[in-house]
Amino acid sequence: MNTVAARLQFILNELRLPTVKRLWTALAEQSNKEGWPAERFLVSVMEHELAERDTRRLERHRLESLLLPGKLLSNFDFTAVPTLSKAHVTALSQGDGWIEQGSNLLLFGPPGVGKSHLVCAIGNGLIDHGYRVCFTRTSDLVQRLQVARHEMRLTAEIARLDRFDLLILDDLSYVRRDQAETSVLFELIAGRYERRSLALTANQPFSGWDQVFPDVAMTLAAVDRLVHHSTIFELNTESYRRRVAARGGVSKAKSVGILDPDDPVISTPVPGDHNEVGEDATAPGNSGGARGDAAVPLRSTAASPRAKEQTKATSKAKPTPRSTVIN
């Protein structure tokens, strides 16, 4: 290696330009052979570096997001939820302003209707558009925040989550009773209000939430902040899993690729999805969502004009299957 090349290797290491380092000799050879002007050679090596940097950043963002793998808009069957607007969902997955405004996305519906799939698909689209997303089960996050609170670093932990443009809290309804002693979830919601977006899935809209927060006042305050700037999808269709099972059994579903290999339906016949892991079908407020009835609004939201407005709109939509979009 001549001295210029050796010096260049050193400089490219120092400047952390691995792609230029890997490609410059081949591009220099081509440039010399074809008589490129110097600026064309420079632009060419730098464009390669830029493109690889973008790819690496997207890979990093996808990895850190912990989104459920394979849940994309391209394999979401919109015909299964006829009232859901594909155009609206696609716009959300591209950002479309709501992320910059710190607006929220709330998805309600009984188990198996595709809430997690849909919210992950939107998350994946957002990552493609340069946003940072983090998916977590709500109970896992509550546990993590509780530990942080005990160690007197709750504020710092919530601030750390600010790096994500969208934080997805899956299955709010499954937060365990003994976790409900805490207000950490409220602190998170209040901390991100009008600044950073939250997406949330739950079995029922608002009615059972008084079990998730320590008291009614805090439940109201949380709901109020969540719905103030929000899009709400109510997916009150039949469970997709159950429908697939009924349509032709497991082997057909597998052969057309609509079921996950680890989906419980593959090893177990599905009599009904009401009692999914952690769900207490007898719990007050749980039956409405799980059976696909109209939304049961939280009675005392009347105290708040913001929540009142949203709740009214939600409870007006009657027919099932349906999906209500409030923006």
CB-CB neighbours of 320 under 10 Å:
15
Would you say 224 or 279 has its CB closer to Mg ion?
A: 279
Q: Kindly write down the DSSP assignment for every residue of 257-291, as one continuous string.
A: T-S-TT-GGGTS--S-STT-TT--TTSTTHHHHHT
Would you say 95 or 292 has its CB closer to ligand ADP?
A: 292
> Could you say which DSSP state residue 198 is in?
E
Report the nearest approach of Mg ion to the CB of residue 296 (Å).
20
Binding mask 90-129 for Mg ion (x = CB under 5 A): --------------------------x-------------
**Quick one: what does residue 187 bind among Mg ion, ligand ADP, none, with the CB cut-off 5 to 8 Å set by partner type?**
none
**Quick one: what does residue 293 bind among ligand ADP, Mg ion, none, with the CB cut-off 5 to 8 Å set by partner type?**
none
Report the nearest approach of ligand ADP to the CB of residue 190 (Å).
26
CA neighbor of 60 nearest in space, from 130, 121, 110: 130
State which of residues 103, 106, 117, 165 lies at the interface with ligand ADP (CB under 6 A): 117
State which of residues 54, 77, 100, 215 lies at the interface with ligand ADP (CB under 6 A): 77
Would you say 31 or 116 has its CB closer to Mg ion?
A: 116
Rounded-to-integer distance, Cα 165 and Cα 143, Å: 21
- Contacts to ligand ADP from residues 180-219, by CB under 6 A: 201
Binding status of residue 136 toward Mg ion by CB under 5 A: no
Residue 168: beta bridge partners?
135, 199
Binding status of residue 80 toward ligand ADP by CB under 6 A: yes
Binding status of residue 280 toward ligand ADP by CB under 6 A: no
Q: What is the CA radius of gyration of the chain?
A: 24
Rounded-to-integer distance, Cα 161 and Cα 177, Å: 24
Would you say 31 or 136 has its CB closer to ligand ADP?
A: 136
- For residue 303, CA distances in Å to 215, 229, 244 come to 15, 18, 43
Would you say 87 or 152 has its CB closer to ligand ADP?
A: 87
CB-based contacts of 210: which residues, under 8 Å, 6+ apart?
Answer: 216, 219, 285, 298
State which of residues 20, 65, 112, 199 lies at the interface with ligand ADP (CB under 6 A): 112
Cα 39 to its chain centre, rounded Å, is: 43
CA neighbor of 92 nearest in space, from 233, 210, 243: 233
Residues that bind ligand ADP (CB under 6 A): 71, 76-77, 80-81, 109, 111-117, 201, 240-241, 258, 260, 263
Residues that bind Mg ion (CB under 5 A): 116
